Homo-oligomer: A and B are copies of this chain.
Amino acid sequence: MDILVVGSVAFDSVETPFGQADEVLGGSATYFSTSASYFSNVAMVAVVGEDFPVEHEVMLKEKNIDLAGLQRVKGGETFRWKGRYEYDLNQAHTLETHLNVFESFSPELPEEYKKIPYVFLANIDPELQLKVLEQVENPKLVACDTMNFWIEGKQDKLRELLKKVDMFVINEGEAREFSDEASLVRAARHILDCGPHTVIIKRGEYGALMFKDDEVFNAPAYPMEDIFDPTGAGDSFAGGLMGYLANTGDLSEEGLRKAIIIGSTMASFNVEAFSLNRLKDLTLDEINLRYKAFKRLTHFEEL
Interface, chain A (partner B; CB < 8 A): 17, 87, 182-186, 203, 206-207, 209, 215-220, 223-227, 254, 257-258, 260-261, 288, 291-292, 295-303
CA distance A215 to B298 in the complex (A): 11
Q: Is the CB of B209 within 8 A of A206?
A: no
A216 & B258 in contact (Cβ 8 Å cutoff): no
Q: CB distance B218 to A298 under 8 Å? A: yes
Within the assembled complex, what's the spacing in Å between the Cα atoms of A87 and B179? 14
Nearest CB of B to A298, in Å = 5
Asked if residues B300 and A261 are in contact (CB atoms below 8 Å), the reply is yes
Q: Which of A17, A218, A223, A291 gathers most chain B CB within 10 Å?
A: A218
How many Å from the CB of A266 to the closest CB on chain B? 13
Residues of the B chain whose Cβ atoms lie less than 8 Å from the Cβ of A227 = 183
Q: A interface, by DSSP: helix, strand, loop or mixed?
A: mixed
Contact present for B17 and A182 (CB under 8 Å): yes
Whether A297 pairs with B225 at a CB distance below 8 angstroms is no
Within 8 Å by CB of A257, from B218, B219, B292, B301, lies B301
| CB <8 Å contact, B223 and A297 | no
Besides A206-B206, A217-B297, 14 other A-B contacts (C-beta < 8 A) = A183-B225, A183-B227, A185-B224, A186-B225, A186-B226, A209-B223, A216-B297, A217-B300, A218-B223, A218-B297, A254-B300, A257-B301, A258-B300, A261-B300
Could you show 26 A-B contacts with beta carbons less than 8 Å apart?
A17-B182, A87-B182, A183-B227, A185-B224, A186-B226, A203-B206, A207-B218, A209-B223, A215-B296, A216-B223, A216-B297, A217-B297, A217-B298, A218-B220, A218-B297, A219-B300, A254-B300, A254-B301, A257-B300, A257-B301, A258-B300, A258-B301, A260-B300, A261-B300, A292-B302, A298-B298
